[in-house]
Structure 1
Amino acid sequence: MSDPCAAECCALDALERRQKRTLKAVLAVNAGMFVVELSAGLIAGSSALLADSLDMLGDALAYGVTLYAVGRGLLWKARAALFKGVLMWAFGLFVLVDATYKAVSGGVPHYETMGIVGLVALLANALCLGLLWRHRSDDLNMRSVWLCSRNDILANVAVIVAAALVYASRSVWPDVVVGLGIAILFLRSATGVTVDASRALRQHPAS
């Protein structure tokens, strides 16, 4: 007769291994796309691309923190989720400042670069979303990274739309509006993650 406790432990170990493999893959994708989008955003003078690059960096750091939390107790997972929420808040505020500066200084961004890099980022995030799909209900941390990836899809589509509008209008405003929109999306997601993590910390205080 098999030991049900041993079987459960084996199942948990297998789940943690799958989570770690997935997190390492999406971490690599997001870290690489951060470099690509940051460089392209600086060259193109695009607030939307810079915002999306910071989104990639925030996700890469968040995946790294989540990878560290896999296999640890509920308290560690709640702390990791809280750290991610604060990190997302910081990036959101940075993007708000950058988009506001672009609105004041003016200057039309390079819409071709925006569109091409935005499409590449969309494909990269679609891959990440597919990898994370099976883990979206595993626990608080895996759900938070899945939500990050889902939000990234919306941000990528917005960058592509902004590129088309910049081309049509020859104006900086579509780029600025999308930059501000991504910042608001950042802050909204950060609030949700922070609230969930704070609730988990209250339910499982440190001994």
Structure 2
Amino acid sequence: MVTHDDLPGPSLDDSPELRSGLRRTVLLVALLNLGYFFVEGIVALAIGSVSLFADSVDFFEDFAVNSLIALALGWSLSRRAVAGKVMAGIILLPALAAVWQAVSKFRNPEPPQVLSLLVTAGGAIAVNLLCTWVLARWRHHGGSMTAAAFLAARNDVIANLAIIAMGGLTWATRSGWPDIALGLFIVALNVTAAREVWEVAESETLAARALAGEEIDDD
């Protein structure tokens, strides 16, 4: 579960060296996510897995978020706050995809092929752990933008572990319902992350207004 304490406060650090290092990092993460988006998406469609499909869209979401970060570095605090709110919306895309897939399988919850699911989820864990590791040192720079990237990668590791556990349950029960339930769990993860990133972006908006000399209404 993501909590507000996990998120960094607004960052006003405009060091060119830090921006350059963070840009290289997020571009690497973006490319890693784009590559595995195709891998996981193709397998998910082939075996009919709701949870794996939702997770593949997560990889595209992470590609979009990290690409946007690379573009937004060096922007003003107010523009970064807007970017953070855009990212909060992007995080919701996998949730919508998972809901659509889950609803479409309600009438015929066929179980996915377990072995392919487990192997693909294992690869996803490796990619997401690498992304989480390289992003960890930057989570206190960039405000809501870096928070979006770090939270997305960390939540994906949790989802991948859950997919592996669900694979075992699917094998034991020969039912597609565990896969559907996990798809909805991934929805909850993404909604939580989107809310937290939006809150940090809101705090950046207030900080930008304060720097501009505007009066802030505490109500």
TM-score, normalised on structure 2?
Answer: 0.85
Aligned match of 2:186: 182
Q: Which residue of 2 aligns with 1:158?
A: 162
Tell me the residue number matched to 1:195.
199
- 1:61-94 Cα shifts (integer Å, max 9, x gaps): 0111111111211122111111110111233122
Structure with greater proportional helix content: 1
1:97-142 deviation digits (Å, cap 9, x = unpaired) = 2112223322111111110000000000011011111101113111
Instruction: Extract unaligned runs of 5+ from structure 1.
Output: 1-10
Normalised TM-score (structure 1): 0.90
Provide the residue aligned with 1:121 in structure 2. 124
Deviates more, 1:26-35 or 1:158-167: 158-167
Where structure 2 has 5 or more consecutive residues not aligned to the other structure, the ranges are 1-13, 213-219
Instruction: Report the CA distance between 1:49 and its aligned residue.
Output: 0.5
| 8 Å CA contact retained: 2:57, 2:97 | no
Contact 2:91 2:194 in 1 (8 A): yes
Report the residue type matching 1:96 in the other structure: V
Q: Distance in 1 between matches of 2:25 and 2:171?
A: 38
Task: Specify the alignment match of 2:9 in structure 1.
Answer: none
Partners of 2:32 and 2:182 in 1: CA distance: 23
Q: What number of residue pairs does the alignment pair up?
A: 197
Instruction: Give runs of aligned pairs for residues 1-207 of structure 1, distance below 5 A.
Output: 12-140=15-143, 141-205=145-209
- Is the contact between residue 135 and residue 143 of structure 1 (CA under 8 Å) also seen in structure 2? no
Which residue of 1 is the match for residue 8 of structure 2?
A: none
Q: CA RMSD in A?
A: 1.7
Q: How far apart in 1 are the matches of 2:119 and 2:94?
A: 24
CA distance in 2, matches of 1:19, 1:81: 16
The amino acid of 2:153's aligned partner reads S
Q: Percent identity?
A: 29
Determine the C-alpha separation between the residues in 2 that align with 1:199 and 1:90.
23
